Amino acid sequence: MSHIVEHLNAPSSYRDSRARSSAHEQQMALAQSATLYIGNLSFYTTEEQMYELFARVTNVTGGGGIKRIIMGLDRNTKTPCGFAFVEFYTHDEAVDCMRFVSGTKLDERVIRCDLDPGYRDGRQYGRGRSGGQVRDEYRQEYDAGRGGWGHNRMREEEERKRIEEQQKRESERHERREEVYQESQGAIDAHKAPAGADAEYYETERSQRAGPEATMDDTAMSAKRQRDEDDYADAAAHDSSDAKNPRTEE
């Protein structure tokens, strides 16, 4: 089985892509390193939880133990972004940790442990464009432990929500304008006088509802309007005849 299953304490395949040393130099550093790179952590995992887990493989009585833990941070927000460095006092402790802890769960996440050539200042910050890890830039699935969507997908979701909100506001504004227009049209229609058969029906209904006195008043008003119209027609005819009479012109 040794040729099928890789040894758990085999040299790590992890490589620092920004290291200036050669592959051979990195391999030699890994063979003596007492530092582990821890990946796939939850953004909410604390340093105390890290100590509690990784201290289980240390040998404090033999001069070992955890030297320090460096939590990975978002370059912009300075908040945890899912990785860390754990420095031990001995190389054997780092190898034992990679053998027994890597692949176990911490905060309901399967964490990954790899030998690291050694921590240097500046490596605690994420290298992604948004400040976090590069892997979170292109993650398409929703991962609550890693802050939700990947940064690219998050931007897409924010843009989609912005467009939906804009369309919703436009729809509400259009509905309000339509309501105002309908109300104004209703007010105009209410002040319009009916004509034709509608006018006759309106007059009949109004007379019946108002009673006989209103009917008499309406009749009197109608007669007065008729007399006024007749007087106006007579006056117009008289003016026309005067304009044609030569004696009137003299």
Map out the domains of the chain as residue ranges: 23-132
Residues 62-77: pLDDT tens digits? 778 999 999 999 999 9
Please tell me the CATH superfamily of domain 23-132, with its number.
Answer: RRM (RNA recognition motif) domain (3.30.70.330)
DSSP summary character for residue 192: S
| Amino acid identity at 152 | N
Residues 82-128: pLDDT tens digits? 999 999 999 999 999 888 999 999 999 999 999 999 899 999 999 88
Alpha helices in 142-211 (DSSP H): 151-191, 197-210
Q: What is the pLDDT of residue 4?
A: 44
Separation between Cα atoms, residue 24 and residue 9, nearest integer Å: 19
pLDDT at residue 30 is higher than 90: no
Q: Which residue in 129, 130, 150, 126 sits closest to 138, CA to CA? A: 150
Residues 216-246: pLDDT tens digits? 555 666 666 677 777 766 766 666 555 555 5
